[in-house]
Amino acid sequence: MNTNRISGKVWLVGAGPGDPELLTLKAARVLGNADVVLVDDLVDKRILAHVRPAARIVEVGKRGGCRSTPQAFIEKLMVRLARRGATVVRLKGGDPFVFGRGGEEAETLAKAGISCEVVSGITAGIAVPATIGIPVTHRDCARSVTFLTGHARDDSSPNWAALRAGNTTLVIYMGMTRVTAIVNDMIKGGYPPDTPACAIQNGTLDTQATVVSTLAALPQQIAEAGLGSPGMLVIGEVVRQARTQAIPSRQQAA
């Protein structure tokens, strides 16, 4: 660790959706200059090949349903290390500012007077659906995409009726364990039960598993396929573009 500097710097780096080849060139360069890397549990360990041998790697795993490193501890550790003069990389899956708590960490660092820079990563919400041919936007059927979390801090639910009226593709992160409740709420909010829907586990990795279905049938098919976290749900007409085609068109269904 370089102790000649009065104050170091923290980089909030996105590792991408899983596949190490989807790491950006800038992220690889920053990792190669780090003194300390605080790495999330979902980051593919092959990405750590970009870290120089003398650097310290600290596992700060955070995964739903498992024992996690407290966020407050991680933020305090970043501040303490930077004040000692270290170049610190906080390495996160996906993008730091898309359900990655990067905004909270940036605020903490700013209050502490620590220099911070963000290196964006390819977010799973775009890259994972693309692995099976799903474009999250499409000129003919989806003029927008909405990213949602399946685990809101205050346990509130989205305005499903408004989302339905907006005809937007829904990409739901961290929704696998609550898929039954989510689907029930969506149908109550006006979504047709035959709305195209899919679930993707371990997106972009060799262990990726996918279920392409309809909204109403999705929870049961997820259970039958044994899918779980980490995964995401994609809901909307664009799911019909999936190469794993399992949804009849509404004309055929009629």
Per-residue confidence (pLDDT) for residue 62, from 0 to 100: 62
CB 119 within 8 A of CB 27: yes
Per-residue confidence (pLDDT) for residue 252, from 0 to 100: 39
9-122 sits in which CATH class? alpha beta
From the first residue on, what is the mean pLDDT of each consecutive set of 10 residues in the chain (254 residues)? 64 97 98 97 95 96 66 95 97 95 96 97 96 96 94 81 94 95 96 97 95 96 94 97 61 39
CB 232 within 8 A of CB 172: yes
**Per-domain boundaries in the chain:** 9-122, 125-253
CA atoms in the 13 A half-sphere facing the CB of 37: 29
Q: What is the CATH code for 125-253? A: 3.30.950.10
Residues with active-site annotation:
40, 62, 174
